[in-house]
């Protein structure tokens, strides 16, 4: 199982909260309604900040 840093988990948690409130938007500007998409956005933000997150699957 992949391990995520505590800070990366906070990014995902924050994105999930925003999704449930209806405030999370994708890069195209549309509202995110899929929890998997919210997780992906959180992990992507964590990667950009250099946190410990496993590589993307291709």
* pLDDT bracket for residue 48 (50, 70, 90): very high
Q: Is the pLDDT of residue 14 over 60?
A: yes
| Phi, then psi, of 41 in degrees rounded to 5 | -65, -45
Say what the pTM is.
Answer: 0.83
The CA–CA distances, whole Å, from 8 to 24, 29, 31 equal 17, 23, 22
| Phi, then psi, of 55 in degrees rounded to 5 | -65, 155
Report the 3 state secondary structure along the chain. Answer: CCCCCHHHHHHHHHHHHHHHHCCCECCCCCECCCHHHHHHHHHHHHHHCCCCCCCCCC
């Amino acid at each position: 199982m992949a391990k995520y840093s505590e800070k990366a988990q906070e990014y995902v948690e924050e994105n999930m909260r925003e999704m449930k409130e209806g405030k999370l938007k994708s890069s195209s500007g549309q509202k995110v309604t899929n929890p998997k998409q919210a997780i992906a956005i959180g992990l992507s933000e964590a990667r950009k900040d250099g946190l410990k997150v496993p590589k993307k699957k291709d």
